[in-house]
Amino acid sequence: MTAVLLEVRGLTRAFGGIKAVDSLSFDALEGGITGLIGPNGAGKTTVFNLITGVYRPTAGTIRLAGESLTGRRPDDVVRTGVARTFQNIRLFARMTCLENVTTPILARASYGPVSAIFRTPAARSTERAAREKALAIMRALGIEGSASFQASNLPYGMQRKLEIARALACSPKLLLLDEPAAGMNDAETRELGETIKRVRADFGVTILLIEHHINLVLDICAHVVVMERGALLAHGAPADIRENGAVVEAYLGRRRERTS
């Protein structure tokens, strides 16, 4: 039996009178890829903001491997083992790609400005280890060839992969991906799907994936959670979701209209 890594129960967050997330409960199984889908405004990104401590829940609980994350601060949540990417890319635009990935590694290694200035042998060996780890992560994502390029000069699809690399640099147990295929064409999206599967296997992470490319979700996720207006509309295996009339109407139907 597979263990539950992320357990969300009764999660609620109101903004003014509107419940962006409304009594939402779901699990993400350890080592699996769980999809989180729903129409625009359904509350998906707010769920990520609640898990990562950007917002405090109005009600409900969030647990990671049995440990409560509810109401914890963002830096504390990262240390507990959760890392994310953003719907709108947030890289250190002026740093190189490699620096974008080494920065979180060095932050975890309590490598401060004093070590950096005096460049003690210990600091140098910490830097070397961070660089090797960062390059290994970038290799897994197929972007190691861009290590020395400035992040803002990368093509869009590679910036999305660099964001995933930077999140992996935090050594998370749970990786939250917010629309990683946004702006990608079908071929790029399929290739990203392969990359996400490889990342899951190579790094042993559990993944929660928000994505509008519905075929990507149905292809690579073992379990799919569907939200509508903040609440759980349905959940199940991809085959069940495909056949679910309410989902087809609320999400897939609307999506088809919009893209046609």
Candidates 1-9, 34-42, 69-77, 196-204 — which segment interacts with ligand ADP by CB under 6 A?
34-42
CA neighbours closer than 13 Å in the CB half-sphere of residue 202: 14
Give the nearest distance from C-beta 178 to ligand ADP in angstroms. 8
Residue 46 or 100 with smaller CB distance to ligand ADP:
46
**Of the candidate residues 38, 157, 172, 193, the single one contacting ligand ADP (CB under 6 A):** 38
Give the nearest distance from C-beta 23 to Mg ion in angstroms. 19
Per-position x/- string for 45-64, each x denoting binding to ligand ADP as judged by CB under 6 A, each - no binding: xx------------------
Give the nearest distance from C-beta 44 to ligand ADP in angstroms. 3
| Burial class (CB within 10 angstroms; exposed 0-12, middle 13-18, buried 19+) of 113 | exposed
CA distances from residue 127 to 91, 97, 120 in whole angstroms, order as listed: 20, 15, 11
- Please tell me what DSSP assigns to residue 150: B
Give the nearest distance from C-beta 240 to ligand ADP in angstroms. 21
What are the tokens at 196? Answer: 């996400």
Q: Which residues bind Mg ion (CB under 5 A)?
A: 44-45, 87
The answer to whether residue 42 forms part of the interface with ligand ADP (CB under 6 A) is yes
The answer to whether residue 213 forms part of the interface with ligand ADP (CB under 6 A) is no
Distance CA 84, CA 91 (A): 12
Candidates 42-50, 112-120, 165-173, 212-220 — which segment interacts with ligand ADP by CB under 6 A?
42-50
**Of the candidate residues 6, 26, 33, 43, the single one contacting ligand ADP (CB under 6 A):** 43
Neighbouring CB atoms inside 10 A of 2's CB total: 11
Candidates 1-9, 38-46, 136-144, 211-219 — which segment interacts with ligand ADP by CB under 6 A?
38-46
84 binds, among ligand ADP, Mg ion, none (CB under 5 to 8 A by kind): none
Neighbouring CB atoms inside 10 A of 169's CB total: 23
The answer to whether residue 254 forms part of the interface with ligand ADP (CB under 6 A) is no
Pairing of the two strands 206-210 and 174-178: parallel
Residue 50 or 91 with smaller CB distance to ligand ADP:
50
Candidates 41-49, 73-81, 103-111, 150-158 — which segment interacts with ligand ADP by CB under 6 A?
41-49
H-run or E-run covering 186: helix 186-203
Residue 86 or 111 with smaller CB distance to Mg ion:
86
Distance CA 231, CA 13 (A): 11
Rg, Å, the chain Cα set = 19
- The residues that touch ligand ADP, with contacts defined as CB under 6 A, are 15, 20, 38, 40-46
